[in-house]
Amino acid sequence: MILTVQHTTIYRYGAPVRGVVQSHRLTPSIFDGQRTRSWTITVDGGLSGGGFRDGAGDWVQGCSVRGPVTEVAVQVEGVVETQDLAGLLRGHRELVPPDCYLSETAVTRADAALTELAHAAIAGTSDPLDRAHRLAAAISDAITYQPDVTTANTTAAESLALGKGVCQDHAHALIAAARVQDIPARYVSGYLMADGDAVSNEAAHAWAELWIKGLGWIGFDPANRCCPDARFIRLGSGYDASDAAPIRGTARGPGAESLDVTVAIQAVQQ
């Protein structure tokens, strides 16, 4: 499948700030399931800084904007060719050992309810891949997809107690449940071309990857009850949503910040 991406993020400040510094994980991953045909990232008034490929295999690019400034726009446009590998992250080069992703964070810490769910989900099976699928299905059953009921700071335990959430909440809950079973798990940010089969219509999307011994990293999207296929574009990964955020940064000044994001993903003729 050939997918086009148009992604605009606009930061607005209530008062002029002296400058803005950002790091971007906005470049598609390099692996057998996707090939970038074209990709541009532009920041109005931005100065490119250093870039590097981190231990997880993600490209991180620095950028700064000199002030005074009241608005910063980050625009991404590109074309990516994708293949359905049934969620398998094949051909992705990284240096971080999988066991590093057994570490929990504040938002992926399992409480008693998540721990009980994780144990109940895998009862009666010892097959590693089957265990992973059962955990993903259990999270899908326990958390109904519903926008605007959680926030960026909602924890996995809170979204499970609420029984509702968005793709970020599904990913955090699956990561927490997997780690209860000593399965390395991480958060993945990217894009999804939503179609008639998709429950989540968030074009800027998120899912989880679990490490399966003998197979490697495999993606699971509990929000849509599937493994990532040709509709997905992978950008980067981390311990949780904050760690894997496509854009991270800071503004020097007292102005209150607001955010506006628009993303459009379309399939074009092969």
Q: What percent of the chain has pLDDT over 70?
A: 97
Q: What is the pLDDT of residue 169?
A: 98
**For the segment 85-94, what is each residue's pLDDT rounded down to a tens digit?**
999 999 999 9
Neighbours of 54 (CB within 10 A): 15
Burial of 29 (0-12, 13-18, 19+ CB in 10 A): buried
Question: Of all residues in the chain, what percent are helix, strand and coil, respectively (each to 5)?
Answer: 20, 45, 35
First CA to last CA across the chain, in angstroms? 7
Q: What is the pLDDT of residue 254?
A: 83
- Architecture of the domain defined by 84-238: Roll (3.10)
**For the segment 49-101, what is each residue's pLDDT rounded down to a tens digit?**
999 999 999 999 999 999 899 999 999 999 999 999 999 999 999 999 999 99
Using the predicted structure, report yes or no on whether residue 196 has a pLDDT greater than 80.
Answer: no
Domain ranges of the chain: 2-81+246-268, 84-238
Which residues, 6+ apart, have CB-to-CB distance to 118 below 8 Å? 110, 135, 138, 176, 177, 178, 180, 181
Q: What is the pLDDT of residue 121?
A: 97
What is the fold, at CATH topology level, of the domain defined by 2-81+246-268? Immunoglobulin-like (2.60.40)
Contact call for residues 119 and 180 (beta carbons, < 8 A)? yes
**For the segment 241-256, what is each residue's pLDDT rounded down to a tens digit?**
999 999 999 999 887 8
pLDDT band at 199 (very low <50, low <70, confident <90, very high): low
**For the segment 121-164, what is each residue's pLDDT rounded down to a tens digit?**
999 999 999 999 999 999 999 999 999 999 999 999 999 999 99
Contact call for residues 5 and 191 (beta carbons, < 8 A)? yes
